[in-house]
Copies of this chain bind each other. A is one copy, B any other.
Amino acid sequence: MGGSENGATDNESSSPSTNKATETSLSPDSIINLDQGDPTLFEPYWKKMGDKCTLVIGGCDLMSYFSDISNICWFLQPQLGDAIKGLHRVVGNAVTDGRHIVVGTGSTQLLMAALYALSSPSAGHPVSLVAAAPYYSGYKDQAEFLRSGLYKWEGDAHTFDKDGPYIEVVTSPNNPDGTIREAVVNLGEGKLVYDLAYYWPQYTPITHPLDHDTMLFTFSKCTGHAGSRIGWALVKDEEVARKMTEYMQISSIGVSKESQLRAAKILGVLSEGCQHFRTADSENFFQYSHRIMRERWESLQNVVENSKIFSLPKFPQDYCNFTGKYTDSNPAFAWLHSKEDIDWESLLREHKIIGRSGERFGADPKYVRISMFSPPETFNLFLERLSAIIDNTNGNVVGGEESSIIK
């Protein structure tokens, strides 16, 4: 969804030339697609877990629409609810006590549900939806594609100054730039939705359990299981949980039970691995995924620091309660910036690299977002090509082309 499963939400990039599902081998001519955040790089960990995470479903299982009719979210499998609570308890990233859990087809569907739940059908005009730029490019599409009269995309929260009710989506760590965020509008009639897709130890230090009214998470970015399409909302207000459930009911009559059971199993194994991690011989998932992400960031930082004009955001170390030490931030996306007036997206395309322009995030084309999730060989080829671009731009010539790119 939103800040979370920003996988394939772009029409212009819906035919990626390289991704896990098709990648066989890369040549110097291969197009490298770093537009989407398809988190298949965590696959080796789950492979290593062998049968521990294997799910077996009999032909007569899970046939009913209903999972637990005593729950507001009547299609939530109780095992998944328990696994979600258990994981947040172990990681310490969010408060679940006194919260309603609403499950969704990815947190994408849950953002739609939150917009529905937090808008006021009785109001004569739509509620404003804002997010601080740079904001996840999918929010605008989600808010606009059905021309709903319930909500209206108003863009950058920093410049929002309308009276009346509004919803601010706070993405933290932020997609695209990895920053830790708080709400910026802070007017009386605002409602906040926290998109916390990346608030997990592999991406950022877990400084404290968040305690907001409406918080969205996704299985996709937590463990890398994007194909399951499982997200969850932790919701304080009963009526909001009820309306979000109603949205799911009307738009899809619930959420795949197979995926829910699988998520429950995998989140359970993940939590168990974390509980003993200080005494265990082998890495738990967050240690593994943090190491992989850290290695990638170090490689990228090593390449970019050679540039005279390009830079990456800097993140201070912070104390992570989960790991019990100071750790780095390793965002899922790199938010590359150029001091010079370069159209990053075009420059990368000339080198057969697909990124997503800063413009799509309400920012400048001097920024580009690059997925850090690509398969290893793709990532390495990207680093090679980026090195070449940097060598060229340091000499102020772009890839042997005319310098039309550097305006």
Contact = CB atoms under 8 A, between A and B. Distances in A.
A187 interface: no
A339 to B, nearest CB: 34
Contacts of A54: 56-59
B60 A46 contact: yes
A65 interface: yes
B46 A63 contact: yes
B66 A262 contact: no
Interface stretch (A172-180, A197-205, A243-251, A312-320): A243-251
Interface string A221-263: 0001111111000000000000000110111111111110010
Interface stretch (A5-13, A208-216, A352-360, A379-387): A5-13
A62 B38 CA distance: 12
Contacts of A30: none
A16 B69 contact: yes
A147 interface: yes
B55 A42 contact: no
A105 interface: yes
- Residue from A39, A145, A266 having most chain B Cβ neighbours under 10 A: A145
Interface string A101-127: 000111011001000100001000000
A336 to B, nearest CB: 23
Nearest to A33: B69
A64 B19 contact: yes
Nearest to A68: B21
B20 A43 contact: no
B63 A251 contact: no
Contact of A63 (B66, B150, B227): B227
Interface in A53-84: 53-60, 62-70, 74-75
A54 B58 CA distance: 4
Nearest to A261: B258
29 contacts: A8-B254, A16-B66, A19-B64, A20-B66, A21-B68, A22-B66, A43-B63, A47-B60, A49-B60, A50-B59, A51-B58, A54-B56, A55-B56, A63-B227, A64-B227, A65-B226, A104-B252, A105-B229, A106-B252, A106-B254, A108-B251, A142-B250, A145-B247, A145-B250, A227-B257, A227-B258, A228-B258, A229-B257, A258-B262
Given A9-B249, A40-B63, A229-B252, 20 more contacts: A1-B253, A7-B65, A9-B250, A15-B69, A16-B69, A20-B64, A46-B59, A46-B60, A49-B60, A53-B58, A54-B58, A59-B266, A63-B226, A63-B227, A104-B252, A112-B251, A142-B251, A145-B247, A147-B150, A227-B258
Q: Which 3 A-B pairs have the closest CB atoms?
A: A53-B59, A256-B256, A147-B149
